[in-house]
Amino acid sequence: MNNENNEKKWWQPAMKLFGELTAWVAGPIIVAVFVGDWLDERYNKSPWIFLISIGIAFIITNIAVVKKSIQAMNEISSNSKKTEKNKK
């Protein structure tokens, strides 16, 4: 039964990582679109504040995706080392 549970759940870490990365890609861009548009209308600077906010969101997204990817690679590496030790 325990082995069956492990086989069914092999995909869960991948889906968790997919969800986190998707949120880091979509979240800042969506916020930047609305905030940039609102600030452009408020200060009558169209499209400059909008473009700057999109640029900032792009930088935030890239930094977050790289950090998450490095964490995931380190986790996968440590899990594979544990698996190799258990096989010996």
pLDDT 10s digits, 2-61:
666 656 687 888 899 999 999 999 999 999 999 999 999 999 988 999 999 999 999 999
State the SS3 of 35-80: HHHHHHHHHCCCCHHHHHHHHHHHHHHHHHHHHHHHHHHHHHHHHH
pTM for the whole structure = 0.77
From residue 52, how far is each of 20, 30, 48, 61, 63 by CA, in Å?
A: 24, 14, 6, 14, 17
Distance CA 20, CA 64 (A): 10
